[in-house]
Amino acid sequence: MSETDYPEHEKLISILKGDQSRIIPEIPDNRLWDHIESQLSADRIKLTDDNLQKSVVNHSGKRRALFVAAAALLLLVGSFVYINSSDQNTELVALGEFRGSDSAEASNDSLSVKVSELDPIDDHFYELWLINFDESGAIVDLVSLGAISSDIKVDLDDIDTGVFSTVDISIEPDDENASHSGNSVLRGDIL
Amino acid sequence: MSNTELKTTDYQRFVSGDERALNELYQEFSPLILGIGRRIVGDDAEDLLQTVFLSAWKNRKQFDPNKGSMRSWLCGITRYRGIDYLRKKGQNSSVLVSDTDLHVVDIRTEEVDDVLDSLVVHSALSEIPNKLRNIVELGFLQELSHREIADKTGLPLGTVKSSMRRGLALLQSELEVSNVRN
């Protein structure tokens, strides 16, 4: 029997008739899983119900968030944020107490954010996120792309941008809590 | 496909974000992935192993058990992460600067493709139903005709042909899963 008997499986049959590759399984050092686990921990955002509530664009009743937002309002009005890529443009909108909007662009392999004015706030920093919401508006996944204080280009090689629908910039308190503060100030759809 | 692989419910746990399921996958497949990585990137295989499982985790929603096995899916990730590694190393290396050197990198990536294709197909062959595997092996390893297989196994000729097609289709789907970039 040959490839010509099943022309649609020509490559497969060629492989079958070739020499079988010898792969020697190798038990990895236990430390490798520890490294993976620590990386997962670094990326993990604990989405408690409280966090989910706060991550929705609704800051009412959150005294601290309002305070920070009010402070940031003064700093962000007139700021322009662009998310650049070769693939698409999208609009980035200021949230809640903030005003203004601007255009944005996104790509599959990198994310470039240009900030014309993003002034620092005492004991806080700005953080860039990708978020995915389900149809009900609940967050189902999010990943931090790190702090942002000025123009930035983020490599998205290891991130499946296809599952994220939104780019988000939040104000985060300078503490040990890696979770999203719920205090989003700028957001744009990338799908 | 493998009896030792996680059950469908466990795949669902993995896809839905249960890190314990990722650990179970790691326990099951890391020796294989590390062995493949050793063939592809040599001393950097442990780095590749970590990259593969982190990439699998981040892309877990793309895994579909109806399209192929977890083994082939992970092999596919290993294929492309390994090739990416070789290309980046070739581009970044101060040693590999000539067209000839870059050609060597291309040959290396082609070799990786061939090795992984062969691994996936032969691995999948060992796990498809015995009846189908027997017929495929008789046809393509012992190179018997349909009629000869029917005579040897006592199966009707039509059964031999349909079993051969089913067996090849199963193997083809595994090969295709391993060739999808995630």
What ipTM was predicted for this assembly? Answer: 0.72
Per-residue model confidence (pLDDT) at position B150:
94
What was the pLDDT predicted at B168? 93
pLDDT at B27: 93
3-state secondary structure chain A: CCHHHCHHHHHHHHHHHCCCCCCCCCCCCHHHHHHHHHHHHHHCCCCCHHHHHHHCCCCCCCHHHHHHHHHHHHHHCCCCEEEECCCEEEEEEECCCCCCEEEEEECCCEEEEEECCCCCECCEEEEEEEEEECCCCCEEEEEEEEECCCCEEEECCCCCHHHCCEEEEEEEECCCCCCCCCCEEEEEECC
User: Cβ–Cβ of B35/A2 closer than 8 Å?
Assistant: no
Tens digit of each residue's pLDDT (9 = 90 or more) over A62-88: 334 444 444 444 344 433 444 444 455
* Nearest CA-CA distance, residue A39 and chain B, Å: 8
Indicate the pLDDT class of residue B102, thresholds 50, 70 and 90.
very low
Which band of pLDDT confidence, cut at 50, 70 and 90, is reported for residue A104? Answer: very low
Residue A53 has pLDDT above 50, yes or no: no
Across the interface, do B30 and A13 touch by the CB < 8 Å criterion? no
Which of A165-169, B67-71, B72-76, B115-119 has the highest mean predicted lDDT (pLDDT)? B72-76
A102-106, B139-143, B168-172: which range is least confident on average?
A: A102-106
pLDDT above 90 covers a percentage of chain A that reads 3
Determine the residue of chain B that is closest to A18 in CA distance: B118
Q: Which of A1, A18, A26 sits opposite B35 (nearest CB)?
A: A26
Task: Judge: B32–A15 Cβ closer than 8 Å, yes or no.
Answer: no
Choose the mutation target among B51, B112, B121 for the interface with A, i.e. most A CBs under 10 Å: B121
Is A159 in Cβ contact with B121 (below 8 Å)? no
Residues B60-75 pLDDT 10s: 888 888 888 888 899 8
